[in-house]
Amino acid sequence: MSLAFLLPAGLAALAALLLPLLIHLARRSEQRPIQFAALRWLRQKPKPRHRIRFDEWLLLALRLLLLIALALLLARPVIVGGASDAPWIAVVPGVDLQQARAQPAPENARWHWLAPGFPSLDEPAPRASAPVISLLRELDADLPAGATLTVLVPEQLSGVDAQLPSLSHRIQWRVLPGSMPTGPAQPNVAAFAPSIRHAPQREAAMRYLRAAQAAWSAGNTKAASDQAPHTQPLPANTRQLIWLAPGPLPAAVDAWAREGGVALLDHGATMANLPATTVLWRDATGAPLVEGAAYGKGRVMRFTRELAPQAMPALLEPDFPQQLRTLFDPPRAAPTRVLAATHAPLAGGPVFPQSPRDLQPWLVLLIAVLFLAERWLATGARRTVAP
């Protein structure tokens, strides 16, 4: 443990210590000589030397200490390496507490939940969830190099990475009975059946979309097909739309896309505020077929050519339904649940420097106490001279 200064130039304020010294010297009690008539005829002797003497030495000391504390505050002192090396035991929420407390541990071990803020194990199990591996990396970076870390985990872990974590501390990984709290159940994903709106002049292109719709709903009787003229409004639960109508996009459809809808537009459709797009689908020759971009909370895509075999040979390819569906499917989340016994962290990870402990709050408190004491002495009724 050592003391360091984040701003050493602030120590230059220590030169202000001369100020109270000069004030006390200038305003100290003066001794005025009194002339007696009988002493006029005595032989004059050399005057004794006067030593520098300070009056109110306690008040002077308080003022000096106050200036020293202010200079230290400007220099921003910190303590480096002051963290305790006591063992840590981190318990993942969901572990059986009785079996956790029955685990052998040193008497000075510190028990905490592996949760945001690392609350003490004496507190109730936290409800806030966070990725276990991220919390473990944070704890590994905060602990000093000499501290040992034991992690008690349930049989299955949630919120893990795709690879084993590599930490700087060698961790004792103990698997105990229990299960991590699960989040709210995810709703069942409905079959892929986007709404289709088309203009009369696009009736010829609808045969290809109907064929794709039949491929999407093959073997799934719940896949309801919503196909109607472009003048018919969208159902309230519509999340995906294929718009085959040239000309400006209606304001209602534009607003729907901004609020989170995903729309695939006709090559002749226009939008007033269409952002810069990127190519999302190319044919075998590399020519772009569909381009798109984010639009508010949703996405907007557009065909680059007419839906006709002579303009888009990909319509006749057997993978056309799958390619079209890929445009709408959101990216799938990676699995985050593993068996805890197979996910023990590895040693040899990067070592992070310990965060220094800031002393400024304590200095502010000391300055306040010194100031109050100085004012009490400076204004006290017992003082005879006010330096």
**Radius of gyration over every alpha carbon of the chain, rounded to an integer in angstroms:** 39
Mean pLDDT of 33-44: 62
Is 215's pLDDT higher than 90? no
Band of the pLDDT at 290, cuts 50, 70, 90?
Answer: very high
SS3 280: strand
Band of the pLDDT at 185, cuts 50, 70, 90?
Answer: very low
Which of 268, 262, 257 is CA-nearest to residue 198? 268
The rounded distance, in Å, linking the Cα atoms of 51 and 20 is: 18
Sort strands 247-248 and 269-270 into parallel, antiparallel or unpaired.
Answer: parallel
Q: In this predicted model, which residue has the larger pLDDT, 21 or 387? A: 21
The rounded distance, in Å, linking the Cα atoms of 89 and 253 is: 55
The rounded distance, in Å, linking the Cα atoms of 345 and 170 is: 8
- Which residue type is seen at 21? L
The angle formed by the CA atoms of residues 28, 29 and 33, to the nearest 5 degrees, is 135
pLDDT digits (tens, 9 = 90+) for 297-340: 899 999 999 999 999 999 999 889 888 888 887 556 566 778 88
pLDDT score of 13:
79
Alpha helices in the chain (DSSP H): 18-26, 57-75, 97-101, 132-142, 203-216, 251-258, 320-328, 360-378
Query: Quick one: 247 exposed, middle or buried, by C-beta within 10 A (0-12, 13-18, 19+)?
Result: exposed
Strand partners, 358: 78
Using a pLDDT cut of 70, give the percent of the chain over it: 81
Q: 161-170, 271-280, 352-361: which has the highest mean pLDDT?
A: 271-280
Q: Which regions of 238-297 does DSSP assign to beta strands (E)?
A: 240-244, 247-248, 262-265, 269-270, 278-282, 288-295
Mean pLDDT of 198-226: 79
Band of the pLDDT at 186, cuts 50, 70, 90?
Answer: very low
pLDDT averaged over every residue in the chain: 81
